[in-house]
Amino acid sequence: MTKQVKSKALIALGFAASTFALATAAQATDPTDPLVVNGDLEIVTNTAAPAHMDMIDTIQSGWEFRSPETQDLQRDDFDNPGMIFVDDAREAWATAEGSEGKSCASCHGEPEEMAGVKAVYPKWNEDAGEVRTMEMQINACRTENMGAEALKYNAGDMTNMVALLSAVSRGLPVNVAIDGPAQATWEQGKELYYTRTGQLELSCANCHEDNYDNLIRADHLSQGQINAFPAYRLKNAKLNSVHDRFKGCVRDTRAETFAPGSPEFVALELYVASRGNGLSVEGPSVRN
């Protein structure tokens, strides 16, 4: 870990700890209060399930399964440690890289002009003939348009950039397409969701469809929604990508995991994202 990264992590950790203490000391907000960020950005954390889901009537963001203290950290961007990393990405957005001397801003302008993009990813890319995640599209931009090196799929600067793109889409409904050319990938993701892997023989559905809202040891099982990623986790004091979370979950079934950025996890991301169609884009979120 470099000095700079380390100090940043420490600052983030201290920030999280202090805001956590503050939130605990202050009267925690009524847990039934809906999530409104900065007093004016309304976030839909539960809504009717999309038509393709048979077993669940109401879809809920992971925010609803967290403690009031953790929930409160998302009500104001000054309390949300994930926003520190968004600021880092904002800087990177405007920094020219690669042989073409371009930054993201050279073509796209302000990050806010990307509002709505994150909401529809993963998305079919006609030219490439594949479903692309936000990360894949960022790397395509870097290598094809900027003449820059691709970022490692789950590197910190990549996840931070995804968080910036998420932040500017916050409040907009997740709306990934599952039909047409994306359908085959979606079906593959669905099959993975229901496959019981590893020596514990657990599928995503075993915990997040059949047992959400139950405790498994000290963990309050959520629906495993990914509308709020990247997620700042209090346990590791950084932003966590969707594929890193998938990897951790699969590992915990005592299985051989898939790699972040693998076709399997891209397919799974499309399917899981589609289970959240209708919830708000919420990242960067705060989770335990």
Partner 1 sequence: MKLSFALAAVAACTAGIAWAAPVVPADVEFSEYGAVEASLTGGAGDAANGAKVMTNRGKGNCVACHAVTALSDAPFHGEVGPSLDGAADRWTEAELRGLVANAKKTFEGTIMPAFYKNDGYIRPGDAYTGKAPTEALTPLLTAEEVEDVVAYLMTLKEQ
Interface with partner 1 (CB under 8 A): 195-202, 206-207, 210-211, 214-218, 221, 247, 250-257
List residues bridging with 285 in a β-sheet.
Answer: 231
Contact partners, residue 131, CB within 8 Å, separation at least 6: 122, 123, 124, 125, 182, 185, 266, 267, 270
CB of 212 to partner 1, least distance (A): 11
Q: Looking at beta carbons only, is 127 or 256 nearer to partner 1? A: 256
Q: Looking at beta carbons only, is 173 or 198 nearer to partner 1? A: 198
State the sign of the Cα–Cα–Cα–Cα dihedral 176, 123, 268, 143. Answer: negative
φ, ψ of residue 153 to 5 degrees: the values are: -50, -45
Classified as helix, coil or strand, 190 is helix
CA nearest to 133, candidates 142, 144, 120, 148: 120
Q: Is 102 exposed, middle or buried (0-12, 13-18, 19+ CB in 10 A)?
A: middle
CB of 139 to partner 1, least distance (A): 23
With beta carbons less than 8 A apart as the criterion, state whether 120 and 176 touch: yes
With beta carbons less than 8 A apart as the criterion, state whether 269 and 249 touch: no
CB of 202 to partner 1, least distance (A): 7
CB of 215 to partner 1, least distance (A): 5
Q: Looking at beta carbons only, is 3 or 217 nearer to partner 1? A: 217
With beta carbons less than 8 A apart as the criterion, state whether 192 and 272 touch: no
> What is d(CA 94, CA 136) in angstroms, rounded to the nearest whole number?
19
Q: Looking at beta carbons only, is 229 or 246 nearer to partner 1? A: 246
Structure tokens at 224: 């495993």
Active site amino acids: 249
CA nearest to 261, candidates 153, 121, 140: 153
CB of 235 to partner 1, least distance (A): 16
> What is d(CA 275, CA 269) in angstroms, rounded to the nearest whole number?
10
CB of 260 to partner 1, least distance (A): 11
